[in-house]
Amino acid sequence: MNLRRCFGMLILAGLLSTQCAKEEPDKRLLLALFLLTGDAATNYGGLYARIFQFKSDITSSATIANMQVPTTPDSARKKLILVHGWKPGDSESAGRPTDDQLMERIVKTYETFLTASAGDRGAAHYFANNYDLYGFTYLTADGIDTNGARFRARLDDLFGSVSDNTVHILAHSMGGLVTRFAMYEGSSPAYLMRLVAMGTPWHGSPWASTTFQKDFTAIGTALGGQFTGTAGGRDLAWDNYNSMTGNYSNLKLTTINNKSDDRDCKIYRAYGAINNNSGTAPSTGFTSACRLLDNEGFGATNASDCVVPQDSASFANNTRVKNLQGSSSYANHDHKVINLENNTDSIRSNVFDTMQLAAPTC
């Protein structure tokens, strides 16, 4: 027996007797199981996939002190889960995370929304309307299918016994893809009411495609090389649903998109629609990225949020996906701003009004 397995057995023997009484799995137990089964590989991606709960005082400040390991959910209360997008610093060889590090990932991503007033349709408005708030974080360097399976397992564990149609998910970018993969794990989750996806690359992004990067040599490498350095980033590549000329493909997105059924009727989209030729992005550096997408053929519409083409974020060719109340198209929103970054933005009201709708039907 090798040293790794011996070490795993020692940890396991000391933990199994107490583990059954705990609701939250001990990370040492997970580590022992990884050591015994050989599934640890070079990272702790599975330990990154966690759901945490926001305390109601998150609206006065946004720190990890305002978060906690989830309590047993109230079956009938509405739940809102925030899911972040791709994080540039994530690595496939990431080390073991602490709870504080994981909560920090969620808080920093949604700080503006979390501390906004009720009048600005921030977290305070959801608390005032009887929502419990949660955040899901994951290692974005890992594959979107892998993270989707992990998310579904966490959702089922926490919300599998709550009332039907009480869980709402608000996801940005890659987070929408991970959530959709979770929705298609096994049967349709009865507890899920809807997914609101903002700037999600349903058909991928040119910047995660090596073919497109090469067209711009150093510029393309600088903008897109970060994506293609990990499995998760490569999963964001353009799927070529529109049969473009060139070596564009994404088997994972093509496969999951071919599975479309009534689950997609629970998805609501929001997308940036900046004119790639003449529009101006509010965030620094994004306008230049829009210009590089100008008339490159990524969909029928020459608009984007400077990272995701409009036809990708609007899920072109999927007739089941719905528009937000008010509007799904935002002509002045780049990929950063569309994630509820602006306190006076109409998208905040449109998202909340969408959450208040009756259960969607096809």
Shared domain check, 36 and 48: no
Q: Residues 253, 329: contact at Cβ < 8 Å?
A: no
Shared domain check, 229 and 321: yes
Rounded mean pLDDT of 41-48?
78
Shared domain check, 302 and 247: yes
Would 362 be classed as within a structural domain? no
Shared domain check, 307 and 216: yes
Shared domain check, 166 and 28: no
Would 361 be classed as within a structural domain? no
Shared domain check, 142 and 85: yes
Rounded mean pLDDT of 128-145?
96
Total number of domains in the chain:
2
Q: In this model, does residue 346 exceed pLDDT 70?
A: yes
pLDDT at site 245: 84
Would 105 be classed as within a structural domain? yes
pLDDT at site 114: 94
pLDDT at site 214: 59
Choice among 16-20, 191-195, 307-311, 336-340 with the minimum mean pLDDT = 16-20
Q: In this model, does residue 107 exceed pLDDT 80?
A: yes
Rounded mean pLDDT of 184-197?
97
Shared domain check, 64 and 33: no
Q: Could you tell me the pLDDT band of residue 3, with boundaries at 50, 70 and 90?
A: very low
Q: How far is CA 269 from CA 186, 198, 316, 328, 329, in A?
A: 23, 6, 11, 6, 9
More confident residue, 264 or 60: 264
pLDDT at site 93: 84
Query: How far is the C-alpha of 155 from the C-alpha of 49, rounded, in Å?
Result: 11
Q: In this model, does residue 339 exceed pLDDT 60?
A: yes
Rounded mean pLDDT of 289-308?
94
Per-residue model confidence as pLDDT tens digits over 64-84: 999 999 999 999 899 999 999
Shared domain check, 257 and 190: yes
Would 264 be classed as within a structural domain? yes
pLDDT at site 94: 84
Shared domain check, 139 and 6: no
Q: Could you tell me the pLDDT band of residue 4, with boundaries at 50, 70 and 90?
A: very low
In this structure, what are the phi and psi dihedrals at residue 271, rounded to the nearest 5 degrees?
A: -145, 150
Per-residue model confidence as pLDDT tens digits over 348-359: 999 999 999 999
Q: In this model, does residue 360 exceed pLDDT 50?
A: yes
Per-residue model confidence as pLDDT tens digits over 233-265: 999 999 999 999 888 999 999 999 999 999 999
Shared domain check, 257 and 129: yes
Rounded mean pLDDT of 203-216?
82
Residue 22 domain boundaries = 1-40
What contacts 201, CB < 8 A, 6 or more positions away? 173, 174, 177, 208, 236, 307, 308, 312, 313
Shared domain check, 114 and 61: yes
Q: For the whole model, what pTM was predicted?
A: 0.87
